[in-house]
Amino acid sequence: MARNNAGKQPAISEEAHVAAAAVAATATTAEAYDQNPLRDPRDKRLPRVAGPCVLVLFGVTGDLAKRKLLPAIYDLGNRGLLPPGFSLVGFARRDWAHEDFAQVTYEAVKEHARTPFREEVWKQICEGIHFCPGEFHDDGAFDVLAMMLKEIDETRGTGGNYAFYLSVPPKFFPTVIEQLKRTNLAKAPEGAWRRVVIEKPFGHDLKSAQELNAITSAVFPESSVFRIDHYLGKETVQNILALRFANTLYEPIWNRGYVDHVQITMAEDIGIGSRAGYYDGIGAARDVIQNHLLQLLALVAMEDPTSFDADSLRREKEKVLKAVRLPEDLGTGTARGQYTGGWQGGERVIGYLEEDGIPPESKTDTYAAIKLEVANRRWAGVPFYLRAGKRLSRRVTEVAVVFERAPHLPFSKDDTEILGQNALVIRVQPDEGITVRFGSKVPGTAMEVRDVSMDFAYGESFMESSPEAYERLLLDVLIGDPPLFPHQREVELSWQILDPIEEYWAKHGRPDGYPAGSWGPSSADAMLARDGRVWRRL
Ligand code: BG6
């Protein structure tokens, strides 16, 4: 680990520098991967490794850094996927030395890393850890950061390749981006790269998203901007593409001729925790429907891309988002709720309005349900029902494609009364897998038919556990591989879908209450009941 404070030469062992720089100078990424002594030769799932580089993390004291980002860096290292000389620079308003940040990282890794702790991996990562104390508006701190990066290039062979990860509230984006411009850090010298990673929210409506983008794109070219929607990093979400485009089984029935409707659910059992400052005024629809759920919808509804490169994939997703139509009556085609006190997991929990930092008159939705249509030849007339909420009965995210009923049943009514509709359910989390539901004969002398399920579970079919979404996305940033990052056009199209709904809600009353631990407000059930349907019971 580097020692002492910002601007000083980090004290890293001489041999480590020499070895790292030597490998970095000569190795291709594939060679670097092969030469890495920590590489697991059985690990074929992510056999890609970035070239030498530095990851600069703004917002290292935040929850995301602690729970996801720092552990993901360790997990990548543990799997031999970090380049030799890889360095991590934390930037925050803390009076820390490099050692303090290393200690914070160590604790985050110990508590949240997915892969087992290995001293030798930690040691290697630790050698590249640096900290730069400062505030975002402080020119001096950014000058120190620029110096520090230059020194790291010299000592660790990172070649001027920097990724700047903005894990900070959006109000700070302009200042940080302006500082990166002022210090010339945004501009890559010949043969090097500079990338910026932005965490959602990308604005809170179309206008603010455009403003934010104008700030970013004035400094970084679009190809250097990586917008994180962590759902796209989830294995189960990428598997939607595999399921649809690597198989012949589903394509013939993946359309309005066979699909009755689609339900996309993101249910969380947690409340807002300590995130009142972010969440209030944002709400469930802006927090997760605008991004995660609309991305899921796009992946389920899109046509096959000509390849999985970023342009082809994004183009197909954009076509879907452009084809999305809102219900004519937003009053009956949407529902929103706000949790009240209740019971969850055997414990009494407080309501949203009692949470710390929430104004008593807040109208923020903690539950949102929206009915959408994708107006194209494949999907016209098929409703896509999206719902998301906090403090629901359990944590589950899934996409359920529900098929039409059989047009004719040659059975007596008694035999088939409880028969439901065929469904294909992509279980995104926590019980990752796919379920197919269909009717089957109950053993016996009568022709009694009942619904049964056929299951694929990741845990049973594959030996290894899935990488965390942030592991995959961080690796893609360092490699410079953009397919799993939404383009600004997708962000804007998604706000165009949501803005009219938010405007309608703002003018019409307040969210309906629903008790914590329930499945949301009755208005959401009524929304489906009007269409003769019910939400899946999860
Ligand atoms: C984030 C939202 O994008 O996703 C949070 O801001 C939410 O409110 C989180 O809790 C859920 O992520 P996951 O991966 O646990 O489903």
- Sequential DSSP letters for 432-483: -EEEEEEEEEPSSSS--EEEEEEEEEHHHH-SSPPPPHHHHHHHHHHHT--T
Locus of tokens 């999305």: 324
Q: Which two tokens stand for residue 88?
A: 């991590």
Compute, in angstroms, the gap from residue 269 CA to the centroid of ligand 1: 11
Give the pLDDT confidence of 268-304 residue by residue, as tens digits: 999 999 999 999 999 999 999 999 999 999 999 999 9
* CA distances to 64, 261, 434 from 455, in Å: 33, 21, 6
Q: What phi and psi values does residue 395 have, to the nearest 5 degrees?
A: -85, 115
pLDDT for 245: 96
Q: Which two tokens stand for residue 498?
A: 């949501």
- The Cα–Cα gap between 15 and 3 comes to 16
**Which residue from 172, 40, 46, 51 is spatially nearest to 116, judged by alpha carbons?**
40
Ligand 1 pocket mutation pick from 230, 431, 471, 473 by most atoms within 8 angstroms of CB: 230
Pick left, alpha or beta for residue 523 (phi over 0 → left; psi -120 to 50 → alpha; otherwise beta): alpha
Compute, in angstroms, the gap from residue 436 CA to the centroid of ligand 1: 26
In the sheet where 225-228 sits, what is the strand order? Answer: 129-133, 87-92, 54-58, 162-166, 194-199, 225-228
Q: Verify whether residue 292 is a known catalytic residue.
A: yes
pLDDT for 261: 98
- Beta-bridged to residue 452, according to DSSP, are 438
Compute, in angstroms, the gap from residue 200 CA to the centroid of ligand 1: 11
| Ligand 1 nearest atom to the CA of residue 292, by list position | 3
Q: What phi and psi values does residue 488 have, to the nearest 5 degrees?
A: -55, -35
Q: Are strands 194-199 and 225-228 parallel, antiparallel or unpaired?
A: parallel
**Which residue from 86, 19, 28 is spatially nearest to 57, judged by alpha carbons?**
86
- The Cα–Cα gap between 399 and 386 comes to 9
Annotated binding residues for NADP(+)? 93, 135-136, 200
| Ligand 1 nearest atom to the CA of residue 275, by list position | 8
Helix and strand numbers, DSSP H then E, in the chain: 20, 18
Residue nearest to atom 7 of ligand 1 (CA): 288
Distance of CA 198 to the CA centre of its chain: 12
Annotated binding residues for substrate? 230, 234, 268, 287, 390
| Ligand 1 nearest atom to the CA of residue 234, by list position | 14
Ligand 1 pocket mutation pick from 288, 429, 494 by most atoms within 8 angstroms of CB: 288
Q: Provide the 3-class DSSP secondary structure of residue 204.
A: coil
Give the pLDDT confidence of 313-336 residue by residue, as tens digits: 999 999 999 999 999 999 999 999
Residue nearest to atom 15 of ligand 1 (CA): 268
Ligand 1 pocket mutation pick from 67, 292, 387, 468 by most atoms within 8 angstroms of CB: 292
The one catalytic residue among 137, 292, 408, 487: 292
Is the separation of the CB atoms in 97 and 132 below 8 Å?
Answer: no
| Ligand 1 nearest atom to the CA of residue 278, by list position | 6
Annotated binding residues? 93, 135-136, 200, 230, 234, 268, 287, 390
What is the pTM assigned to this prediction? Answer: 0.91
Compute, in angstroms, the gap from residue 322 CA to the centroid of ligand 1: 25
- The Cα–Cα gap between 405 and 147 comes to 66
Residue nearest to atom 8 of ligand 1 (CA): 287
Q: What phi and psi values does residue 448 have, to the nearest 5 degrees?
A: -85, 130
Is the separation of the CB atoms in 474 and 72 below 8 Å?
Answer: yes
| Ligand 1 nearest atom to the CA of residue 231, by list position | 14
Q: Which two tokens stand for residue 300?
A: 């389920």
Ligand 1 pocket mutation pick from 228, 268, 396 by most atoms within 8 angstroms of CB: 268
Q: Give the chain's residues under pLDDT 50.
A: 3-34, 36-43, 45-46
Ligand 1 pocket: which residues have CB below 6 Å?
268, 287-288, 397
197 CB neighbour count, 10 Å cutoff: 23
| Ligand 1 nearest atom to the CA of residue 428, by list position | 16
Compute, in angstroms, the gap from residue 2 CA to the centroid of ligand 1: 34
DSSP string, 286-316: IIIIIIIIHHHHHHHHPPPPSSSSHHHHHHH
Compute, in angstroms, the gap from residue 450 CA to the centroid of ligand 1: 36
Is the separation of the CB atoms in 187 and 55 below 8 Å?
Answer: no
Q: What value does the CA radius of gyration of the chain take, rounded to a whole number of Å? A: 25
